[in-house]
């Protein structure tokens, strides 16, 4: 009975949009918190100080995560399936972060971003955005 009521509510495009929006915002908060756990700096403290590199890297993460949700919503017919695919995409984006760190043995990405190295912050942003398109294109 409850499933039919939920299905009925989600058949309304306004309610469905609100559901997708709410889930995406909640997941964005959780995913950003996870990213913050793996970086050596505190994103919002650094942004408050005016660290543009951290702002760019964080902005790239936000865009990347939201872009994954865009693809997941477009390619799935339920909130649950969209959340599963976006979560999977997030794991791949997180893996890309570690690969980026590993592929730059000459310096530590986190340290450079924390020092406001804007070239590294910009590159981090572009990697997050770009890979979100590659991951999103494979979402079914």
Task: Kindly report the number of other CB atoms within 10 A of residue 30's CB atom.
Answer: 13
pLDDT digit string (tens) for 51-109?
A: 999 999 999 999 999 999 999 999 987 888 999 999 999 999 999 988 988 888 888 99
Helix, strand, coil percent values for the chain (each to nearest 5): 80, 0, 20
Q: Where are the domains of the chain?
A: 2-137
Question: pLDDT tens, 17-67?
Answer: 898 999 999 999 999 999 999 998 999 999 999 999 999 999 999 999 999
**What's the predicted TM-score (pTM) here?**
0.88
Instruction: Render pLDDT for 5-31 as a digit per residue (tens, 0 to 9).
Output: 666 666 788 888 898 999 999 999 999
- Residue entry with tokens 């980026």: 100
Q: Look at the alpha carbons of 99, 101, 104, 109 in this order and tell me if their dihedral is positive or negative.
A: positive
DSSP assignment letter at 107: S
């Amino acid at each position: 009975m409850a499933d039919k009521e939920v299905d009925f509510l989600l058949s309304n495009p306004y309610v469905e949009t609100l559901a997708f929006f709410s889930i995406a915002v909640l997941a964005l908060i959780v995913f950003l918190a996870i990213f913050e756990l793996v970086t050596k700096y505190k994103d919002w403290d650094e942004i408050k100080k005016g660290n543009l590199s951290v702002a760019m890297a964080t902005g790239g993460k936000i865009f990347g995560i939201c872009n994954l949700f865009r693809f997941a919503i477009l390619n799935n017919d339920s909130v649950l399936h969209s959340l599963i695919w976006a979560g999977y995409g997030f794991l791949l984006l997180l893996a890309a972060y570690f690969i980026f760190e590993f592929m730059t043995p000459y310096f530590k990405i986190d340290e450079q971003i924390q020092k406001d190295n804007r070239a590294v912050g910009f590159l981090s942003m572009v990697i997050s955005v770009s890979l979100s398109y590659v991951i999103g294109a494979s979402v079914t």
